[in-house]
Amino acid sequence: MTEAASPRVEYHDSVGVVTIGGEVDIIQAHALRDRLLGAVRNEDLGLVIDLSGTTYIDSVGVSLLFELAERLAERQLKLAVVMPEDGLVERVLKMVDLRSVAEVRPTVDAALSAISV
């Protein structure tokens, strides 16, 4: 995993926020999957994935987001994604209808609010 794509995890009360920068592709997929699934604690209400610093996402990255949403839903947890505007990542995630499995918001604060509702 490149330094730029190394995820950072912070907790806001009962919601984890994972910030991912750089490229999300097949090279990072396995380590990123483990990091994202490991970021959810037993007491959490959900997880926010902050992609605002992400410059590229491929089909493996997209599949990872859908898998994460499914796994969280099985535990009755919510997923919210902060999506960068007007870029490749936004176009890709709109095409695959990420909104069908996750709350998509423009900021971390809005994503946190979507989970805490």
Taking the model in full, what pTM does it have? 0.91
Domains defined for the chain, CATH in brackets: 3-116 (3.30.750.24)
Confidence of residue 5 (pLDDT cuts 50, 70, 90): low
Residue with tokens 């994503």: 111
Give dist(CA 109, CA 99) in Å, integer.
18
The arrangement of strands across the sheet holding 103-105 comes to 8-12, 15-24, 46-57, 78-82, 103-105
Is pLDDT above 60 for 2? no
Confidence of residue 85 (pLDDT cuts 50, 70, 90): confident
